[in-house]
Each structure stands twice: as structure tokens, then as C-alpha cells.
Structure 1
């Protein structure tokens, strides 16, 4: 296979037979992009890698260009790990590490496992940013190389979750409980969308759920924004939330206080 470049990463050509074999073994993953960020996708400065492919169709998705697996570029695990190695000193100095995001990272569990294990061998902090919808794809061996999970809980009510994502809520709840049983640190993330997810009756079950998990150390209530809107237009995908404004600062703090009242550290 020949190679091209993705943000400084060598990418494998899309010879279909070799590509599928490489993806099955985890030697190759479909990657949209990567970036260095601070205090966004986990602690410290992090190299966040966005994999492509996602089973959810969230109405407010700000990365709709990562939904389809084929929209990524094939990247060799060894090349991504070589890139990660270059930032070891940055991670050490800032208490950072790597975060695998998407899309949905657990659509590519073999590739994710290779990257996570390789990073751990280098002594680098590892994080998964996931909806948990495909938690069944995460083997205990994969999770053994995970230091932190950012678990996106889109809704506390099954019917609202279905409306927001097109999928069921239960797999996310099951995965979160499994993380707790395994002792894996978890941050709960919840996007507050006016008129969609902001009702108290939708939020209370998330508060109760987060408080029930022994490994939840942080909750992030994220105000809805329109920053991904242009991507939907570029892709020609109908966007249903064009008339929705961000929640007020007052309402956002009210919701955060609901979590704080349950003893949860919340931002």
C-alpha cells in the first residue's frame, strides 16, 4: 500500500482487501483528524484523535463530518503512536495525555485497543470520549488500558434519548455501570439543549444515575451551541435545531446546581 498524509500522519491507501484486514486486526483505523487541546477532552494538554463512524445521529452533533466510517482516512496504528510519542514531554509537563474521540471510538475497537495499549506502554494517560452506545465492543482488555472515560449521557429519559440520538438509552447506562464496577474513572457529560433536554424531569434521572456510580469524579453540563451548524449545511444534511438558542447562563447554573446538590463536582 502507498501512503499519503493526514495532519502529519502517514495514511495507508484504500486497497479494500488490505484495508479491511488491517481494520480487523487494528493495524489500521479510519481517522478524521487530530488536534492538541488543553482542558477540553480530559485533564492537561491532550492529543485528541477523532475516529470516523458513529451509530448515533444526534440532532446537535457538532462533528457530522465524522458520522460515516468512509469519510475518514486510513491511518496505521504505528504511525499514530509515533506521533503520540513526540508529545510525551508535553503530556508529562501538563498532566495530559491522549483522548480517542469521534464519531464513536468504539466502532473501531481493535484500532482503539492498539493505540491505548501503545500509549500506556509509553506511560501516557489515556481517555475515551464515548456515548457508551457500543460499550459491548469494549473488551476488558481494551478497558484495562483506559485511565478515564468521558461518558456522554444525552438524556435521562429513554423517549427523549431516542428523539435526540435515534438510539436507545439503556446501552449507555449499562456501560457506565460496568465502568464503575471495573473502577475506571468517569466524567459524565450532558449537553443542555433548550426545549429538548433541559426539562427537570429529563435531568433528574441523569443526576441520580451519576450519583449512583462510584467512579464518577466530575460532571460537565455543556450549553448547546450552533458551532457545528455550517458543517451540516456543507454536507447537505437537514439541521433541525437552527432556531434553537443557547441556554441562559442562569439556567445552565441551575442545572449544574442539581448535580452539585447530589454531591457531584460539576462544571
Structure 2
């Protein structure tokens, strides 16, 4: 369990205790009202157990403050957003993080992803990945284990060849034109994308720059088996697994997908970016 998650759970427990005290109830009386074991009341208000939305609604009603249920449930949703700060994750370099992703991707059967500014790691060439890892190590001032990290990122791509998996990935066209590592690196990376079109385990869509969209391109995100969402910011990796968050990110992906180009159309957009690089 992450430190951030535990701190959030303890803060929620403190709020539950506060509501109980304000109602003039001791733990035993509250447990009796709820029909719970007294130990459950203790675990919840001491941050040793994660409450459910139903637990919080029942607690609010039992202390005579049903209007507080929505506030408590909002705290729970915030708790379900687990944060992993990059500075801590990268303390030993990029390789441990890449190795963790290898395990996570192997456990995943179906994935929906979207990237707005970069080619996804799942599709990167070694040269492209190397440039990004070097840039990130410089930015985060983390140990430079670039060779090992590139190898680990390439191992992640082995899942693309496993029968029964499906990776539905959207890339905003702007990412095809972002010059990472120079002309040769980008040319090789775009050629790699072309080679993915038509694979049985990959559905690659390109969201054109001029496509009419019902929402702006947003930030990148990945939905794992429709059970959790991972969002990467500059300093933090966020994880969401509540039904509301999954539904929200699913809707965003669907709306972006509605404007995406696939197959020959996607190939033409990649070729256009390839031609622009060759002309520079």
C-alpha cells in the first residue's frame, strides 16, 4: 500500500471519528446502531480498513448527519486516486519502473490507451525510447541506467505478440511530428508504427489534427482491462479504479476514437509525417 493512500485513509478515518464524537456516540453505541462489530468501527476510524461507499452512507445516517454522506464518499473517491511520485520511483533509475510495467502488461488482456504528445512506450523503437529516457533522467535528475531501461521497455513489447491480447491505442497526430532524437530516429519510429497496422493484437488509431472533435485532445491515459486507469503527469503517476472514473475515461476514449483514422487512412497520416521529416 502506498504512503499516499494510507495517509488519505487515515484522514478519512479521522473525519469519521469527528462525526461520531459530534453526535455524542461512543464506538460501541455506533456499532450497535449499524449492526457492525465494534472492531469494524475501530478499524475504519483508525485508518486500518478502507470503507465502502455504502459504509460511509450508513455511518453518516447513524450519526444523524446523512447530508455528510456525499462529502465522505468524495473523500473516498480521492482516496482511490493512488499517486506514485516519479522522484521516489526513479530513485534507483528507470529500469525498476520498466520492469514493473512488463509485469503489469503481461497481466493485462485488453487495454485502451491514448497519447497526445509522444509515441507510446508499447510501440517505441529502441532509439526513440533511449532519447526519451535520457531526457527524463536529465529532467528528474535520476540515475542514468539507460541501456538497461531500454531493454526493459523492449521486453514490455513482447505482449504485442501474445495471442488473445488486444491493445486499442489512439495517438494524436501532433505526436507524429514531435522531433525526438532527430530525423533518423523519428523516421525509424514512424516506420515502426506503420508495421503495427494490421496486427491482430493491435488497433492503432491516429486522431488527425483537423478532425472535428467533441472535446479537446486532453492528456494521455491508459485503461487496463476496464478495471483501472493510469495517468502520467510530469511528477506523478496516478491510478484510478472507481467506477465513476473508469466510466469518465472510457467516455473520453470513445469520443476521441470517434474522430480517429484507422487502416489506410492512419497509414497516410503517418506517411505525411514521414514525408515532412524527409523534407527537413
Normalising by structure 2, report the TM-score: 0.26
Greater percentage in helix: 2
Q: Which one scores higher on RCO, CA 8 angstroms, separation ≥ 6? A: 2
Greater percentage in strand: 1
Normalising by structure 1, report the TM-score: 0.27
Q: Which has the larger radius of gyration?
A: 2
